Structure 1
Amino acid sequence: MLEAKVFDHIGKVIHYFGDGALTIFGSVIESVICAKEIQTELLKEPKVNLRIGIHSGEIVYDDEGVYGDTVNVASRIESLSKGGCVLFSSKVNDELRNHSEFRTKSLGLFELKNVRHPIEIFALQSEDIVVPSKNDFESRFNLRTESIAVLPFVNMSNEPDNEFFSDGITEEILNALSKIEELKVTSRTSSFAFKGKNFDIREIGKQLGVRNLLEGSVRKVGNRVRITAQLIDTLDGYHKWSDTFDRDIKDIFQLQDEIATTIVSTLKKSLKIQDSQKKPLVKVPTTNLEAYQLFLKANFFWNKWTPSDIKRALQLLKKSVEIDSNFAQGFSALAACYVYLGAIGQLSNQIANEEAKKYAMKALSMDDQLPDGHLSLAMANLFDWKWDESSKSFQRALELSPNNADAHHYYAYYMMAINNTRKAVIEAEKAHELDPLSLPINAFLGDMYMNAGMILDAIEQYKKTLEIDPTFRAAINGLGWAYYQSGNKDEAIKLFKKSQEIGGDEFKSIATLGYIYAKSGELDKVNDCLEKIKFQENKLTEVNYTIDYALVYLGLGNYDKVFEFLNKAFEDKLGALIFIRSRSWKEIHDDERFKTLLSKMNLPAD
């Protein structure tokens, strides 16, 4: 069967080995068609369980056969596969994009043996062959040796209020390790999900996808601090390294660097870090310990991620930089607070962006190596529709901190705004890989799948998010949208009403319900939704409901009204307009008025 089909598609079987074969083609299209036809035939009785992997690129011939990275990658993809399906690399998928007869499905990023960087793997979608899900690959998951999570260090001090200090030490060590490009470091959100919980080390390793765990404790008494730390292998639970450090608190930064450097040294062989790398992993951010402790307290509230806590963090940070006006990290954190408050509508977008840029640039003028400073500047420019400036800042942030899940997450926003849907999915998947238990990152990955038209993947991702927290409204709403997109209106409405119940507010998700009722022709219910939006607008004058109105009128098909409100959103410079190219607004994308709006936002029309 193999030889006949390969011959029909102008290919050649180069080599047989055991029960495998290496085949080459002059055309990617012919190779994929051939693979599909082979699987279609072999799935008939009596079935033959065949795996197929495809990659494209240069190959090297000699008298013994064919060699090169292309062959290696194709082989790794084949070994990853399962019987009856056709898997291929993103490079092959790029060749198929302009051929509508092929439907493909992303399975995510995979670490392949002897392949330096993760590769996105795709499956061919067809009723005639097996189409795998991501769950099919869980049993094939291998933990990278060069991977680590830093669990929250336990506060052993007599004062419970010192918890901010132990959390801060944990985060500083985590940030230091994140600077090592060769090391995959799980982000804070996922690591801190295990705070105060008694999980088996091996289970934590499996959930976070890491081979190494760092855990420890902090005891602070007066001006003295004792830190214990253990590096543990998650496969067998054995300690690779442990130590206890007693220091004066003024030496805290040197101590953080010592711990991080020791860990990297312990993993040096697998990380392939050259001995010439002597640069400290931890900089001394301030010589004023009072300013630093205020910064750590602010960080404690920042990570609670609520508007009131962010405002508390902002006040603490202002005190911190008043004490030390050269504290770059403090100014960078201030910028992040303003980005957050502007994005959620607690401040006008214009004021928030101005303050964020001011503090981010002040921080970077003191230390241009601060990833968070570049990230805050990227976000402020993103919501200000300054695309080139935003892109440069995102790239700099990722260059300085390649393991920064938030940077990948927000960079996906940028990619979505400029209509690079595929790259948005890849960045969202990278963020999820680095922070697998973050609720916002999990739900956002579902959003990106849905925006790319991968509705089944989106539904699966939203359900996984709700397994972590069944009350997370962003995932409930996302699942509702995904069900609506798949034609299940009744289930969608149930989910949006469930979102209202969980939020304890009948006005939540009201614009989305208005849109669905409008599409269904239930005009009485639509009018009720519009009245509720108007009521809220009069009650909460600081909140902007322009996009809500536009969405309801989109459902009604009243495009004049839609563009009236979208243009008002442009005048108000609403940050939400960066999502205007999403699938939700697809029906107006061909309207000339939409192209005019994009032009005013300095976005290309295609």
Structure 2
Amino acid sequence: MLTELRRRNVFRVAAVYAVAGWLLLQVADVLFAVLGVPDWGLRLVLGLLLLGFPVVAIFAWVFELTPEGIKRESEVDRTQSVVARTGNKLNVAIVVLLAAAVTLLVLEHFGGEGDNSYDDVALPAESKRLEVADSEAEERSIAVLPFVNMSDDPGNEYFSDGISEELLNVLVKVDGLTVASRTSSFAFKGKEVSVPEIAEKLKVNHVVEGSVRKAGNRVRITAQLIDVGSDRHIWSETYDRELADVFAIQDEISQRIVEALKIALGADTANAMTEAGHPTENLAAYELYLQGRYFWQRRGGDNIRKAIELFIEAIELAPDFARAWSSLAAAYITLPVYADAAEAESYKRAEAAALRALEFDDSLAEAYAVLGDLARTDFLWEEAEDFYLAAIEREPKDATARLWYGEFLTLVGRFEDGLAESERAYRLDPLSPGANANLAGNYFILGRDAETLRHAAIAWDLGHPFGKMFEGQVYFRRGDYPKATEAFAAFTDAIGAPGALLDGLIGVKTDPSSRAEFIVFLDNLAVQPEPEVMLETNIVLGRFDQAFAVANERFDDFRGNAWIVIWQPDTPAFRRDPRFIELADRLGLLGYWRKGNWPDFCEPRGADVVCR
């Protein structure tokens, strides 16, 4: 039987099929990753190859290839058989295929298990060339788009998001490279938007995109760097490694990107890149951390609580995991904003976590920014500013630190400085709802209505309800009460708050005779609104006695940035009242101002302070 199998070339055919099948799987593996084919696509090819093997073997046994075509072996005269000649051809095929397989294995081994495709590769025809002007995008600028989760399990989404975020965290430390923030880059997640269009919106010249496939303890990460101006790939690579190598992969990807951009960055900058270091050596803790970041970024009370649980689990596995401590602090300080959580307890835990983070790593901007916000809630203005500046010093490209510092500057009355900082945050994160809302607020206070409306519209489109509030305030100031009513209605609907007070104020403006009736309504509310709402309403009505009464009697009930209402730009008479300076003193602002930090609407005159 063995002799007959050899004579009929069954073994040779099987060898050719096996080697050719292996090569086909390698090609499919690369192509499927580029084309975005799910994991099951490769398994399908493997399954078809396995099913085809017995078919090919049986075909080689039953049939023979003759000069006249394919015939059944039993019908061929043994004296006329050409199986020996066919066998020689199959031997050549086997040698050629084996040589190709060995070459591929050598390339994979010495090429860092990647395809090392540094040659320029044209993008798909549907991509459009984008000429990015220097005024719109810096030459040395990049965005890291969220990597696509190619795993069968949608629950691995946290891992692909986490890889993108960690890569961004490494690149943001490269001197001379402007990196679009996570909020802006992730705004395109799951949306059918072309790379040139994304680059135009983010004002960047380079884009990193890729995919992640995670199965058990194996992970495959594909990454590619695109030069948007020329619509060409500068570099791409696929990594197929053990999950334990994930940190090494992140380091290698970031280093390759910097090397590919070394002409734009300058050789010295590229060579001077410092490794960010691994956040923890505990892989299980790292995965829990990535899951926590995934939930925290989505906000909402339930998501933040879930994030807190995951960060705590990560810390239990790796007590010295500084970034898990820092993220825990950020989760605790944001929890009261999105859930019915006691501020005092949340803030206490946030402070403890932030301080713990800095014990292990004093370079974490997030931890300093959290401490800045906590100091701000206690009216410790100088201490808060020191923390914000410490955050920015350590991570100048951190959009969140810039954003929170801009809020701080606006709250203490330094509107021009606040605007400058908010503009920096916006440049780092142009699709951040918060950055656009803050800019709208800054512009509104400074009387720049056109810019207010522009950024208010962007903020609203990105899901920030205060976009409509600032839009309504502009139209209210202009006396366009129908548009103001429409905008305020959208705002109150979005936050789930009644709009009776806003409607009443507009009613008083359109019909002054309704003022007395509205005041009776205001003074007899069965349920008192938030103190800042009552304060602002009385300020706008010119009822300063009632406004200062609310400010003093409900002083401890004000939350967060609520005191911003004292800077209503169209009510200077409120700030000229002597009681305003008394309120500023109680808020700790007067002492802060006297150290050279004077607000735009106030100035010293001898021993007195005059505001407008």
- TM-score (normalizing by structure 1): 0.71
How far the C-alpha of 1:373 sits from its partner, in A, is 1.0
Superposition deviation, residue 351 in structure 1: 3.0
Q: 1 CA distance for matches of 2:457 and 2:560?
A: 28
- The aligned residue for residue 83 of structure 1 is none
Contact 2:536 2:565 in 1 (8 A): no
- What is the aligned counterpart of 2:211 among 206, 214, 217? 217
Q: Which runs of 5+ in 2 are unaligned?
A: 1-131, 594-601, 603-612
- Aligned partner of 2:578 in structure 1 is 592
In structure 1, the residue matched to 2:491 is: 499
**What one-letter code is carried by the residue in structure 2 that aligns with 1:476?**
K
- Is the aligned partner of 1:285 residue 2:265? no
Q: How does 1:126-525 map to 2 (within 5 A)?
A: 141-272=135-266, 274=268, 278=272, 280-343=274-337, 346-466=340-460, 468-469=461-462, 472-502=464-494, 505=496, 507-517=497-507, 521=512, 522-523=514-515, 524-525=517-518
- Cα deviation for residue 527 of structure 1 reads 5.0
* Structure 2 counterpart SS, 1:213: strand
Percent identity of paired positions between Structure 1 and Structure 2: 33
Query: Residue 552 of structure 1 is aligned with which of 516, 531, 537?
Result: 537
For residues 167-204 of structure 1, the C-alpha deviation after alignment (integer angstroms, 9 at most, x for no partner) is 00000111111112411111111111211223222111
1:147, 1:185 within 8 Å by CA — same for their partners in 2? yes
Contact 1:253 1:284 in 2 (8 A): yes
Contact 2:459/2:466, CA 8 A, preserved across alignment: no
Take 1:282 and 1:257, find their aligned partners in 2: how far apart are those partners?
8
Report the residue type matching 1:597 in the other structure: L
Q: Matches of 1:509 and 1:456 in 2, distance apart? A: 25
- Give 1:207 shift: 1.1
Quick one: structure 1 residues 574 and 324, their matched pair in 2 at CA, closer, same or farther if it must change by over 3 Å?
same
Secondary structure of 2:268's match? coil
Return the alpha-carbon distance in structure 2 between the equivalents of residues 318 and 510 of structure 1: 43
Query: Residues 360-403 of structure 1, C-alpha deviation per residue, up to 9 Å, x if partnerless?
Result: 11100111011111111111112222112211221121122222
SS of residue paired to 1:274 = helix
Q: CA separation in 1, counterparts of 2:572 and 2:297?
A: 35
- Whole-angstrom CA distance in 1 between matches of 2:304 and 2:520: 36
Tell me, in whole angstroms, the C-alpha distance in 2 between the residues paired with 1:590 and 1:430: 32
Query: Amino acid of the residue matched to residue 219 of structure 1?
Result: R
Separation in 2, partners of 1:209, 1:331: 33
User: Which residue identity does 1:588 align to in structure 2?
Assistant: F
| SS of residue matched to 1:575 | coil
- 2:588 corresponding residue in structure 1: 602
CA distance in 2, matches of 1:403, 1:549: 38
Cα deviation for residue 473 of structure 1 reads 2.2
Amino acid at match of 2:585: S
Q: Determine which of 555, 568, 579 is the counterpart of 1:583.
A: 568
Paired residue type of 1:154: V
Secondary structure class of the residue paired with 1:567: helix
The alpha carbon displacement at 1:219 in A equals 1.0
Change in 2 beyond 3 A, CA 1:453/1:348? farther
Q: Counterparts of 2:349 and 2:206 in 1: how far apart (Å)?
A: 40
Give the RMSD, CA atoms, in angstroms: 2.5
Q: How has the CA–CA distance of structure 1 residues 575 and 159 changed in structure 2, closer, same or farther, with 3 Å as cutoff?
A: same
Q: How does 1:83-98 map to 2 (within 5 A)?
A: none
Query: 1:364–1:569: structure 2 CA closer, same or farther, 3 Å change rule?
Result: farther
Letter in 2 for 1:385: F
Check whether the contact 1:408–1:427 (CA below 8 A) recurs between aligned residues: yes
Contact 2:411 2:561 in 1 (8 A): no
User: Which amino acid counterpart does residue 395 of structure 1 have in structure 2?
Assistant: L
* Alignment check: 8 A CA contact 1:353 1:383 kept: no
Cα separation, 1, equivalents of 2:145 and 2:212: 12
Deviation at 1:492, TM superposition (A): 0.8
Residue 494 of structure 1 deviates from its aligned partner by: 2.1
**Residues 443, 474 of structure 1: 8 Å contact kept:** yes
Residue of structure 2 in register with 1:570 after alignment: 555
Superposed displacement of residue 465, structure 1: 3.7
Give the 3 Å change call, closer, same or farther, for CA 167–517 of structure 1 in structure 2.
same
CA distance 1:233–1:529, shift in 2 (3 Å): farther
Q: 1:359 deviation in Å?
A: 1.0
Residues 265 and 554 of structure 1, relative CA distance in 2, 3 Å threshold: same
CA contact (8 A) 2:225 2:235 kept: yes
Distance 1:314 1:531, change over 3 A: farther
> TM-score normalised to the size of structure 2?
0.70
1:501 is displaced (CA, Å) by 4.1
Q: After the TM superposition, which of the residue ranges 183-192 and 333-342 deviates more from structure 2?
A: 333-342
Secondary structure, counterpart of 2:589 in structure 1: coil
Q: Provide the C-alpha distance between the structure 1 equivalents of 2:241 and 2:193, rounded to a whole number of angstroms.
A: 30
Per-residue CA distance 1:432-488 (angstroms, 9 max, x = gap): 12211222222221111101121222123223444x35x642111110011112222
Q: 1:223 to 1:144 in 2, by over 3 A?
A: same
Q: Is the 8 A contact 1:155 1:162 kept in 2?
A: yes
Once the two structures are superposed, what CA deviation does each residue of 1:28-85 show, in whole Å capped at 9, x if it has no partner?
xxxxxxxxxxxxxxxxxxxxxxxxxxxxxxxxxxxxxxxxxxxxxxxxxxxxxxxxxx
Pair 253,581 (structure 1): closer, same or farther in 2 beyond 3 Å: farther
1:530–1:472 Cα change, 3 Å: farther
Which of the two has higher C-alpha Rg? Answer: 2
Q: Residues of 1 paired with 2:222 and 2:457: CA distance?
A: 39
